[in-house]
């Protein structure tokens, strides 16, 4: 009989383009200027921005996006090239106590007659647009108030291009919150649970965190993993904090094995649990939580934060290789590994995982999967990271949180992970800072 379970265990340490999809989640990093690859976007003919066109695609009416949710839209035929003669208009609004951050990544618009217009106030005449936008790279911009409008035009003789955008409705930034951490130096791997896994180097995954049950009956046992995202906060799964109290959770970073503390280890208690308010124990939806440490850790070669995937909010990571790390059991029902293990697994997008006959019906928009024969996360790996290394920079990002599975490494049965890109603004709003590049 198949049994749905959370990957928890213990080991001894101490004694569509026309329709905007509304998704819970986040963007995070806010930058007020229009940028592509850190440079100002190309500008096309100013006269184009004054033209009012008959729009044949986009939203037929203004779409309302609740604060804390996001709308997604893309160019016609995306991910294929758009064709000539397109005129699209998207208009979005949110509550008066929120504003939009718009990120288009990737974005590729020909500068020979094609352009994008952005109104930070939602003006469909685009009188306040910064001029038509074209070029290739990444666009990020913030609204002035609670409405935005975006228009797209392609000339009849275009060579085509494409873009995918997400608009996040969130509280305006203040001087004390929602500020990216400058020079946080995240995602730097060291050089030196996993079913089919191999031992990781002592400093290879310096953000890997161990959670221990330090309640009177817990005996200091390792029961879940977590991920260091700042000196004061770790990220884990909500089912690792469900019905637990902060005082009974111990946190260890800079740790390689569970037999004894090492010279690189730093131990902290938890002062606050921030579990996602919509976590559902039955469906395991919104399986994400934050733990605030009772005092900050010090960054060393063995203790560093992971990068949060702010600039990859539109990526589905399908067929990319992720690496799961943890001290979980190496077989279902087996003993936990005393050493930190890692296993590389192909990522399966939300859409493709839903096609799986075994776990597909359980997959929400806040989940995705991994699968490789005879390899998997297992009991005790829960709450730990699914790491993804950016091939361009070599930096490590947490794209998933180990959530649940049916058995371990069963044939044609993917493991399921919380999709971190859907929760970046929730993380930022609760921690006050965010570490990303």
Which one of the listed residues 105, 114, 213, 287 is annotated catalytic?
A: 287
3-state secondary structure of 47: helix
Nearest-CA neighbor of 115 among 165, 46, 168? 46
Full DSSP string of 320-333: -EEEEEE--BSSTT
Per-residue burial over 386-402, b if 16 or more Cβ lie within 10 Å, else e, is bbbbeeeeebbbbbbbb
Which one of the listed residues 153, 239, 276, 286 is annotated catalytic?
A: 239
Helix (H) or strand (E) holding 351: helix 350-353
Residues 76 and 17: beta-carbon distance below 8 Å: yes
Residue 32 and residue 141: Cα distance in Å, rounded? Answer: 5
Residue 408 and residue 332: Cα distance in Å, rounded? Answer: 5
Q: How many CA atoms lie within 13 A of 48 on its CB side?
A: 22
Pairing of strands 208-213, 221-228: antiparallel
Does residue 35 have an active-site annotation? Answer: no
Q: Which residues pair with 307 in a beta bridge?
A: 397
Does residue 239 have an active-site annotation? Answer: yes
Does residue 155 have an active-site annotation? Answer: no
Nearest-CA neighbor of 107 among 74, 76, 83? 74
Which one of the listed residues 230, 349, 382, 436 is annotated catalytic?
A: 382
For residue 170, what are its two tokens? 């969130």
**CA angle, 76 as apex, 18 and 139 as ends, to 5°?**
95
Enzyme catalytic residues = 239, 287, 382
């Amino acid at each position: 009989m198949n049994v749905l379970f959370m990957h928890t265990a213990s080991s001894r340490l101490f004694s569509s383009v026309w329709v905007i999809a509304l998704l819970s989640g986040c963007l995070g990093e806010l930058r007020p200027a229009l940028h592509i690859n850190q440079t100002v976007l190309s500008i096309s003919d100013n006269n184009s921005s004054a033209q009012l066109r008959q729009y044949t695609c986009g939203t037929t009416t203004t779409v309302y996006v609740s604060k804390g949710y996001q709308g997604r839209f893309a160019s016609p035929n995306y991910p294929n090239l758009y064709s000539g003669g397109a005129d699209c208009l998207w208009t979005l609004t949110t509550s008066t106590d929120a504003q939009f951050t718009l990120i288009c990544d990737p974005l590729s618009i020909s500068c020979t007659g094609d352009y994008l217009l952005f109104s930070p106030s939602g003006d469909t005449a685009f009188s306040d647009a910064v001029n038509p936008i074209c070029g290739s790279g990444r666009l990020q911009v913030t609204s002035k108030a609670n409405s935005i409008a975006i228009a797209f035009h392609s000339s009849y003789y275009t060579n085509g291009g494409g873009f995918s955008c997400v608009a996040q409705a969130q509280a305006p930034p203040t001087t004390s919150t929602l500020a990216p951490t400058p020079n946080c130096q995240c995602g730097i791997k060291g050089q030196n649970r996993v079913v089919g896994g191999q031992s990781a180097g002592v400093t290879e995954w310096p953000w890997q965190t161990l959670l221990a049950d330090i309640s009177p009956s817990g005996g200091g046992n390792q029961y879940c993993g977590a991920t260091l995202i700042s000196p004061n906060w770790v990220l884990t799964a909500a089912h690792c904090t469900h019905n637990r109290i902060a005082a009974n959770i111990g946190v260890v970073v800079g740790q390689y094995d569970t037999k004894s503390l090492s010279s690189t280890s730093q131990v902290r208690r938890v002062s606050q649990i921030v579990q996602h308010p919509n976590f559902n124990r039955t469906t395991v939806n919104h399986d994400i939580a934050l733990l605030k440490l009772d005092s900050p850790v010090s960054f060393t070669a063995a203790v560093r934060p992971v990068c949060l995937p702010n600039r990859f909010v539109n990526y589905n990571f399908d067929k990319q290789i992720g690496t799961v790390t943890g001290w979980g059991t190496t077989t279902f029902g087996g003993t936990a590994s005393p050493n930190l293990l890692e296993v590389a697994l192909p990522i399966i997008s939300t859409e493709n995982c839903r096609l799986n006959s075994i776990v597909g019906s359980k997959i929400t928009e806040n989940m995705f999967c991994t699968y490789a024969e005879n390899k998997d996360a297992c009991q005790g790996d829960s709450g730990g990271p699914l790491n993804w290394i950016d091939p361009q920079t070599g930096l490590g990002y947490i794209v998933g949180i180990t959530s649940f599975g049916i058995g371990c490494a069963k044939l044609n049965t993917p493991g399921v992970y919380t999709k971190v890109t859907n929760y970046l603004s929730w993380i930022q709003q609760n921690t006050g800072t965010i570490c990303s590049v």
